[in-house]
Amino acid sequence: MSGVGATRASPSRGATRRVEGAPPLDVERIRRDFPILSRTVRGKPLVYLDNAATSQKPRAVIDAVSRFYASENANIHRGVHYLSERATEAYDAVREQVARFLNAASTGEIIFTRGTTEAINLVAQSYGRSVLRPGDEVLITAMEHHSNIVPWQLICEQTGAVLRAVPITDAGELDLDAFDRLLTERTRLLAIVHLSNALGTINPVRELVARARARGITVMVDGAQSAPHLAVDVQALDCDFFAFSGHKLFGPTGIGVLYGRESLLERMPPWQGGGDMIASVTLERSTWAPLPAKFEAGTPAIAQAIGLGQAISYVNAIGLDAIGAWESQLLGHATERVGDIRGVRLIGTAREKASVLSFVLDGVHPHDVGTILDDEGVAIRAGHHCAQPVMQRFGVPATARASFAFYNSFEEIEALVRGIERAGKVFG
């Protein structure tokens, strides 16, 4: 599975894959790889459509984590003993795998974090704190997850910088004219979501990065939702930072990745201090370990990293092109079927979308839709999706959201449709 990053299409607007000519996946076979998908919920087969919140795990990931604890557990970068050497090797191998997955230039650019949230906080507190001055501007968008809003609010408060946001259109796309107007000589940093968790919009990040970088602006891309669905090539995107979470990519919770451009990471001060991130320590002062260790204080999530490695191998074996093609069919079919239900209003109708179908049902609160679907064994998310500004933009307190992964099927979409229709009847 090496070299995958270089061979895939870059996920810019023009290169986003559509349905035509894609080989269908063997969904039945794939589903057997995920033990949880054969269970029932409230007496019905589980229909798991909450993949944007977290994805399910294939047997290979579950086994890798339990095998590590059962027979390979040791701390890394410490012991001279056999198990520690093995654990260190396994951990470092995953870093190489992640570097290939994102097509990073080197493993020093891959920092393990607890997840996307921690990665964004790291960039805000280390990079942001060292460059932002009073009056500088940080630009985000009105479709960000709270995790790509709040860390910037915090650092702006701490530095006197000003936070601005690119507005979105009624379809849930970025207002690109406003984007250009908001890039000013005061803008130091652009932090932007690749694939919106609340709307499903795929932003034209390659183009936006190019416009920002042309003005010398540093760009952070939140890839929490895009990494499981779109091929990502950080060199083609030309972004400075890119973050994703293991658990949304069919791996364990507690592990995530920050990609950072080496020249920036080298200049950035450490964020957290502790073991493993130092070159030497005296009681007066310390010097820092080289990348990536400088940003990995303390014992990391070793088993989770190893699980993430298995998850990436699993995804690569199917191929993100095939995954993207199947999910695009699923989303297209679901959009049509759910959109046809009387009283349904879709929230987020961008031209370029992936995985996410957000909607409201006239006269029925999303929580009640969620409870009735749950009674049918269908798991969706109901609420503000940690994107309250998006809810405010569309004038709804919450939405119901079905989000798809490659193991979902057309039959499951029918279960979703039946559940929504039942909700309409109960409250009609």
At residue 403, the 3 state secondary structure works out as strand
Q: Does 206 bind other proteins (CB under 8 A)?
A: no
* Listed ranges 261-269, 315-323, 380-388, 402-410: which one lies at the site for other proteins (CB under 8 A): 380-388
Please state the closest distance from residue 418 (CB atom) to other proteins, in A: 14
* Identified catalytic residue from 386, 388, 394, 409: 386
Cα–Cα nearest to 357, from 345, 369, 365, 368: 345
| H helix and E strand count, the chain | 16, 17
Residue type, 1: M
Q: What CA–CA distance (Å, rounded) separates 251 from 245?
A: 8
111 Cβ neighbours under 8 A, 6+ residues apart: 119, 122, 257, 258, 259, 260, 265, 291, 292, 295, 296
> From the list 235, 375, 379, 394, which residue makes contact with other proteins (rule: CB under 8 A)?
375
Count of CB atoms within 10 A of residue 128's CB? 28
Please state the closest distance from residue 210 (CB atom) to other proteins, in A: 36
Q: Does 427 bind other proteins (CB under 8 A)?
A: yes
Cβ contact 180:209 at 8 Å: no
Task: Pick the closer one to other proteins by CB: 44 or 77.
Answer: 44
Task: Pick the closer one to other proteins by CB: 43 or 134.
Answer: 43
386 labelled catalytic: yes
Whole-angstrom CA distances from 151 to 93, 126, 139, 185, 257 are 31, 11, 12, 22, 17
Strands of 28-100 (E only): list them.
40-41, 44-45, 47-48
Q: Does 366 bind other proteins (CB under 8 A)?
A: yes
Q: Does 277 bind other proteins (CB under 8 A)?
A: no
Q: Does 383 bind other proteins (CB under 8 A)?
A: yes
> From the list 243, 382, 402, 405, which residue makes contact with other proteins (rule: CB under 8 A)?
382
Please state the closest distance from residue 45 (CB atom) to other proteins, in A: 15
> From the list 46, 347, 398, 402, which residue makes contact with other proteins (rule: CB under 8 A)?
398
Cβ contact 277:288 at 8 Å: yes
Please state the closest distance from residue 181 (CB atom) to other proteins, in A: 30
Binding mask 26-55 for other proteins (x = CB under 8 A): ----------------xx------------
Catalytic residue set = 386
Q: Which residues here bind other proteins, judged by CB under 8 A? A: 42-43, 363-368, 371-372, 375, 382-384, 388, 391, 397-398, 426-427
